[in-house]
C-alpha cells in the first residue's frame, strides 16, 4: 500500500482540480496522488500572455537525494498578478511575494499528503529568492509554482527579480526534506501493515487517505478498527522497519501492472501520452503503488516509528503515527 497520496495537506481531503487531471480508475480516494504521472507528459491547457505553458521537470522524482540544482527561470510574477485559483491554492502570500517558475525543480510541491519543500534560489548576480511554499499550478498543467520573496541588501532600493532565461541555483532545506521523506515512507509501512493484518477481519475495510505532516501524520481507513489491533500493528511496523527493506522508484506501463496481478491499480491511460509510464514506489516485499512523493532508500531510515492511537468515527478509523 503506497500510502496516503491525497492531494493537499492537513485539513484538505482532496484538491479537486488536481483530481480531475490525475484521477485513478477503480482506486480508493486514499490513493490519489498529485504527481505520479511521468513528468514529460504534456496535456492541453489554456493560454495566457502572462504565463508559460512549459511543464516543469520534476527532478526530485528521479533523485530525492539531490539538494542543489542549476536550472533556468521560465517566468517571474508578482503574487498579486497570478490567477485567483492559484492564490487560493497557496492560502498564503502577500504584496511582497513573487511566484517563480523554473525549467526544472528539486522542490517537492505540497501534495500526496506530503508538505512542500522550502529553501532558496540564487541568481547569477547573487540575488536571493527565499522559497516559502511550493504548489502545482491549478491553471497551467504541469507547472510548479515557487512562492517567496527576493532579498535585497539595499532595503531602500526597488525590488529586483530574476529575469526569464536566467540561470539560477536551487537549494532545499535538507533536514526538512529528510523528515518528510521518513514520514512518507513510514506512512507507507504503516498503511501496508494495517492492510495485511485487518483487511479480512474488518467489515468494509478500505484505504481512504493520509497525511505525512509532522505532528499530524495519520492513515485513514473505511471500517472500524478496534484498539486491540494496536500492538499487532506496531509489531508489524517494527518488523518492517528493522528488515531494512529496499524502497525503489520505478516507472511502469499498464502491462507491468497486469504482469504483477495489480490490474486494479492501473491509472487512467487516457491521461498520459502514448508510451508514457507511471511512477511507482516499491517497498520490497511489502508495498507497491503509484506515488509521487519523496522517500528514504530503505525502511530502517524511517527511524523509530510509533503507532500513537486508533480513533473511530462514523464507520471510519484513523491511525496516527510519528517518527523519532
Task: Report residue 312 as a C-alpha cell.
Answer: 473511530
Question: CA–CA separation, 306 vs 183, rounded Å?
Answer: 11
pLDDT, tens only, 165-198:
999 999 999 999 999 999 999 999 999 999 999 9
- List the domain boundaries for the chain: 39-172, 177-323
**E strand or H helix at 115:** none
The conformational region for residue 115 under phi > 0 = left, psi -120 to 50 = alpha, else beta, is beta
pTM for this model (two decimals): 0.83
The CATH number fitting domain 39-172, selected from 2.40.30.130, 3.30.300.30, 3.30.1490.20, 2.70.98.70: 2.40.30.130
What is the rounded average pLDDT of the residues 4-21?
Answer: 33
The separation between the first and the last C-alpha atoms of the chain, rounded to the nearest angstrom, is: 22
Contacts of 318 (CB under 8 A, 6+ apart): 218, 219, 220, 221, 310, 311, 312
Question: CA–CA separation, 124 vs 143, rounded Å?
Answer: 23
Is residue 186 helix, strand or coil?
helix
Contact 296, 323 (CB under 8 A): no
Question: CA–CA separation, 197 vs 199, rounded Å?
Answer: 6
Beta bridge partners of 69: 170
Please name the fold of domain 177-323: 3.30.980
pLDDT, tens only, 257-312:
999 998 888 877 765 556 778 999 999 999 898 898 999 999 999 999 999 999 99
Least confident of 39-48, 148-157, 294-303: 39-48
Question: CA–CA separation, 27 vs 184, rounded Å?
Answer: 20
* CA distances for 33 relative to 4, 89, 106, 111, 282, angstroms: 8, 16, 18, 7, 15
Least confident of 49-58, 229-238, 291-300: 49-58
Whether residue 245 is predicted with pLDDT greater than 50 in this model: the reply is: yes
Beta bridge partners of 306: 322
Q: Can you list the alpha helix ranges (DSSP code H) found in the chain? A: 16-22, 84-90, 174-198, 230-242, 254-259
Contact 1, 206 (CB under 8 A): no
- Percent above pLDDT 90 for the chain: 70
Phi and psi at residue 31, to the nearest 5°: -100, 0
Question: CA–CA separation, 93 vs 118, rounded Å?
Answer: 14
Per-residue pLDDT at 289 = 84
Sheet holding 316-323, edge to edge: 206-211, 218-222, 316-323, 305-313
Tell me which of 200 and 272 has the higher pLDDT: 200
Q: Given this chain, do its domains 39-172 and 177-323 carry the same CATH topology? A: no
Amino acid at each position: 500500500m503506497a500510502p496516503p497520496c491525497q492531494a493537499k495537506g492537513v485539513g484538505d481531503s482532496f484538491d479537486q482540480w488536481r483530481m480531475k487531471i490525475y484521477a485513478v480508475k477503480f482506486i480508493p480516494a486514499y490513493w490519489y496522488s498529485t504527481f505520479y504521472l511521468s513528468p514529460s507528459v504534456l496535456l492541453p491547457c489554456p493560454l495566457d500572455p502572462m504565463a508559460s505553458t512549459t511543464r516543469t521537470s520534476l527532478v526530485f522524482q528521479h533523485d530525492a537525494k539531490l539538494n542543489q540544482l542549476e536550472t533556468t527561470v521560465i517566468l517571474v510574477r508578482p503574487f498579486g498578478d497570478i490567477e485567483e485559483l492559484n492564490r487560493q491554492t497557496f492560502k498564503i502570500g502577500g504584496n511582497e511575494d513573487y511566484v517563480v517558475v523554473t525549467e526544472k525543480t528539486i522542490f517537492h510541491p505540497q501534495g500526496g499528503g506530503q508538505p512542500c519543500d522550502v529553501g532558496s534560489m540564487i541568481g547569477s548576480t547573487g540575488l536571493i529568492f527565499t522559497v516559502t511554499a511550493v504548489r502545482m499550478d491549478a491553471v497551467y498543467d504541469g507547472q510548479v509554482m515557487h512562492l517567496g520573496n527576493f532579498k535585497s541588501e539595499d532595503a531602500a532600493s526597488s525590488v529586483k527579480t530574476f529575469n526569464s532565461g536566467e540561470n539560477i541555483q536551487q537549494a532545499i532545506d535538507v533536514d526538512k526534506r529528510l523528515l518528510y521523506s521518513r514520514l512518507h515512507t513510514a506512512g507507507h509501512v504503516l498503511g501496508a501493515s494495517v492492510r495485511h493484518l485487518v483487511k479480512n477481519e474488518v467489515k468494509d475495510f478500505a484505504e481512504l487517505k493520509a497525511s505525512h505532516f509532522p505532528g499530524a501524520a495519520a492513515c485513514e481507513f473505511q471500517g472500524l478498527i478496534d484498539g486491540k489491533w494496536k500492538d499487532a500493528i506496531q509489531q508489524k511496523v517494527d518488523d518492517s522497519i528493522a528488515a531494512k527493506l529496499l524502497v525503489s522508484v520505478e516507472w511502469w506501463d499498464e502491462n507491468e501492472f497486469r504482469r504483477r496481478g495489480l490490474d486494479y491499480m492501473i491509472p487512467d491511460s487516457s491521461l498520459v501520452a502514448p508510451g508514457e509510464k507511471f511512477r511507482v514506489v516499491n517497498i520490497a516485499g511489502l508495498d507497491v503503488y503509484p506515488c509521487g512523493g519523496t522517500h528514504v532508500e530503505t525502511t530502517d531510515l524511517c527511524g523509530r516509528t510509533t503507532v500513537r492511537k486508533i480513533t473511530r468515527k462514523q464507520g471510519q478509523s484513523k491511525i496516527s503515527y510519528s517518527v523519532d
